[in-house]
Structure formats: structure tokens, C-alpha cells
């Protein structure tokens, strides 16, 4: 994996936005057992408690999600998803540890799922076992090996599932390595495919953001790619992506904001937003907004909304402009960067 290619964050965000699609593709048996009429809940606070109490150093569970089953029962389960990108000798015990910690803390049954995004066809951990005199423990969990899905590339390319696009982007990032021109070609193929899948504008924009995040290009190739995309959208009369980039996001959306915001909201905000949206929000918030940069936090929220949606309703502007609490602005900045559309944006 190259230093400029970062997988965990776009994977995690992809699962948050397209959870149902990922479950259909990766774990169809589990997907069929879930009642999707009840909206799943992402348990970030509960996850942090499990991670902290487990005293597991820098190891972590990617997602903890509450779902309900189809069988009509009122019971809920915790759906534990961990995305692993390389062979790890401690992987099985980590899966076991978090399963029993979640069960112990919340007293509910826990489904443990693992997405293996590595390139080693022989690494397929599916259970943890401990055998001692008079004692034996065995813990089995479900695994989706992305190499198995990508083995039939024709079927994957023909899929209309949003999850298939993210999986293909991950595969392309792994395969192209330092071959930037080949990466540009694959990025264009995936981007064009977005418009052929019959998706809505919001889904196209979200998926493009994830593809762009995974398949970064050098500035010269990014400029060529962007010209090609602009021309395509003009011909198809679907300015979905380029209309959201008119503030200069095309020059390295996620990488730029990481570089800009990590120097502090006040000094790096404008430069960071011009270079990107997502990847550096956490560092910037810690070094900027937490230092009391209320005015900068307001600007961050409004400019992110403008970058993503073009215009911001006056009521939202007034609400943001009157907010003085740093912690609230911090929450809003995350929301502004991840919400699918302004209709679901709620600042309260």
C-alpha cells in the first residue's frame, strides 16, 4: 500500500452510507435475517467504551451497529464489522475479545463479521481456539474475502450495488500501485459506471467521493481526469460531480484538508477546504476548534456545506452564525462533511 493510498477511512464511511448494499454483497445470509424497515444505529459511544475497557492498545473495532431481526422479536443484536487489510497473527484473538466484551457490556448476542481486503489468497482466519487441560474455547466468525468477490470481475462490474463500486476501487488501488496512468484509466471506468447504474444524484456524489478518496492521482493526471469528467457530464447533461467541485475541490479533496487543517483551523482552514473535504477533519478540529476558534468553526461548517451542496439556506446560515459552543460546531463540521443531502441535515 502506498503512502498516499489510505483505505480504512473511505471503507468505514462507505459502510456507514451504504450499509444495506454492503451486507447484500458481503454477507447475504445475515442481510436476509435483518429487518431493514427499522433503521440500523451506529453505536460509536458504545464502541469507544468497549475499546477502552478491553485494554487492547491501538487495536480497534471498525464499526458497531445495532440492527433488528426479521423474526418479529423485539431483541436487537450488535453487528460487529471489522475491515482488515493485511494478515495479522493477532486478528482471531482480537475478534474473540471484542465479541465477548460487547456481549458482557450489553448482555446481547453479537454477530461478528470480518471483511478481509488483503491480497493474500491463503490467509482466511475464521475462528479463534484456545485449548487448555480441562478447558476448550472455540469462537467462529463469518468472513468475506474480497479476493473471492473480485475473482469474477465481470459479475462485479455488472453489479448495480453501490458496494461493488467501493470494492472495485479498493481492488484498483491495490493493483495499480505506483502506476498512476493505469490508476487514472481505472478511476475513469469506475466513475463512468456510476452514471450507468441508474443511481440518484446523491448516491453518485457519495460514491464518487469514495472512489476519488481511494484512487488519488498526481496533479497533472488529476487535471486530465477532471477535464474528461467535465466533458462527460456536459454531454450527458448530468453535472452531478463537477457542480460540487467548483470551489476547487478537484485539487486533492481529502489529502489537502488533512494537510491544511492539521495546522489549525485558523491558519489552515481556507487552504484545507480548497484542497479537500474529509480526511483531516479530526486533526483540524483537535488543533483548531478545540482551541476556541469559534469563528473559524462557523466558517468551516458553512464552507463545507457550500462546497458539497452549492448553496446553504438562510435559516441554516443564521443558526450556524449564532452558535458559540465549540463542541457543537465540532459535531456540525463532521455532519456537514458526511450528510447525504441538505434535507437530512439537522442542526439542533
The phi-psi region of residue 65 (left if phi > 0; otherwise alpha if psi is between -120 and 50; otherwise beta) is beta
Predicted structure pTM score? 0.66
Position 56 scores a pLDDT of 44
- The string of pLDDT tens digits covering residues 92-117 is 998 898 888 888 888 888 898 989 88
Alpha-carbon distance of 101 to 319, in angstroms, equals 40
> For residue 79, what pLDDT is reported?
77
Quick check: 252 pLDDT over 90? Answer: no
CA 9 to CA 279: how far, in whole Å? 8
- Rounded-to-integer distance, Cα 184 and Cα 186, Å: 6
Mean pLDDT of 10-27: 92
- Mean pLDDT, residues 187-214: 90
Nearest to 81 by CA among 130, 18, 136, 38: 18
Residue 244's pLDDT band (boundaries 50, 70, 90)? very low
In DSSP terms, which residues pair with 69 in a beta bridge? 34
Checking DSSP bridges between strand 63-68 and strand 135-140, what pairing results, if any?
A: unpaired
Q: Does 125 have pLDDT greater than 50?
A: yes
- Report the C-alpha gap between 55 and 30 in whole angstroms: 29
Structural contact between residues 329 and 295, judged by C-beta atoms closer than 8 angstroms: no
**Domain regions of the chain by residue span:** 8-148, 152-245, 253-344
Integer Cα distance of 239 and 56 in angstroms:
47
Cell representation of residue 159:
453489479
CA 265 to chain centre: 23
Determine phi and psi for 62, rounding to 5 degrees: -70, -50
Model confidence at 263, pLDDT cuts 50, 70, 90, reads: low
3-state SS of 241-264? CHHHHCCCCCCCHHHHHHHHHCCC
Query: What pLDDT score was predicted for residue 348?
Result: 54
**At a CB cut-off of 8 Å and minimum separation 6, what does 273 contact?**
247, 257, 260, 300, 303, 304, 307
- Flag whether pLDDT at 60 surpasses 50: no
Confidence of residue 4 (pLDDT cuts 50, 70, 90): very low
First to last CA, the chain: 41
Amino acid at each position: 500500500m502506498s503512502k498516499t493510498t489510505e483505505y480504512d477511512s473511505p471503507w468505514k464511511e462507505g459502510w456507514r452510507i451504504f450499509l444495506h448494499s454492503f451486507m447484500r454483497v458481503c454477507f447475504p445470509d445475515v442481510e436476509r435475517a435483518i429487518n431493514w424497515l427499522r433503521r440500523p444505529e451506529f453505536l460509536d459511544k458504545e464502541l469507544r467504551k468497549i475499546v477502552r475497557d478491553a485494554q487492547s492498545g491501538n487495536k480497534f473495532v471498525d464499526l458497531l451497529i445495532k440492527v433488528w431481526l426479521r423474526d418479529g422479536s423485539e431483541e436487537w443484536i450488535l453487528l460487529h464489522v471489522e475491515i482488515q487489510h493485511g494478515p495479522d497473527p493477532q486478528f482471531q484473538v482480537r475478534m474473540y475479545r471484542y465479541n465477548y466484551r460487547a456481549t458482557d457490556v450489553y448482555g446481547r448476542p453479537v454477530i461478528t463479521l470480518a471483511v478481509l481486503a488483503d491480497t493474500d489468497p491463503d490467509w482466511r482466519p475464521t475462528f479463534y481456539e484456545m485449548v487448555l487441560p480441562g478447558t476448550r474455547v472455540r469462537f467462529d466468525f463469518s468472513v468475506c474475502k474480497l479476493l473471492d468477490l473480485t475473482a469474477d470481475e465481470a459479475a462485479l462490474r455488472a453489479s448495480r450495488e453501490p458496494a461493488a463500486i467501493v470494492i472495485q476501487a479498493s481492488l484498483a488501488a491495490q493493483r495499480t500501485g505506483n502506476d498512476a496512468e493505469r490508476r487514472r484509466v481505472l478511476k475513469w471506468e469506475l466513475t463512468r459506471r456510476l452514471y450507468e447504474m441508474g443511481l440518484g444524484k446523491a448516491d453518485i456524489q457519495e460514491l464518487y467521493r469514495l472512489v476519488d478518496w481511494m484512487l488519488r492521482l498526481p496533479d497533472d493526471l488529476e487535471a486530465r481526469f477532471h477535464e474528461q469528467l467535465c466533458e462527460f457530464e456536459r454531454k450527458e447533461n448530468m453535472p452531478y460531480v463537477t457542480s460540487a467541485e467548483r470551489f476547487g475541490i478537484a485539487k486533492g479533496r481529502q489529502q489537502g484538508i488533512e494537510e491544511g487543517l492539521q495546522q489549525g483551523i485558523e491558519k489552515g482552514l481556507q487552504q484545507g477546504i480548497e484542497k479537500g473535504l474529509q480526511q483531516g477533519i479530526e486533526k483540524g478540529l483537535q488543533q483548531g476548534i478545540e482551541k476556541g476558534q469559534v469563528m473559524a468553526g462557523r466558517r468551516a461548517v458553512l464552507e463545507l456545506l457550500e462546497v458539497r451542496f452549492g448553496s446553504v439556506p438562510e435559516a441554516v446560515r443564521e443558526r450556524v452564525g449564532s452558535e458559540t459552543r465549540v463542541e457543537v460546531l465540532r459535531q456540525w463540521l463532521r455532519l456537514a462533511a458526511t450528510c447525504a443531502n441538505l434535507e437530512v441535515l439537522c442542526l439542533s
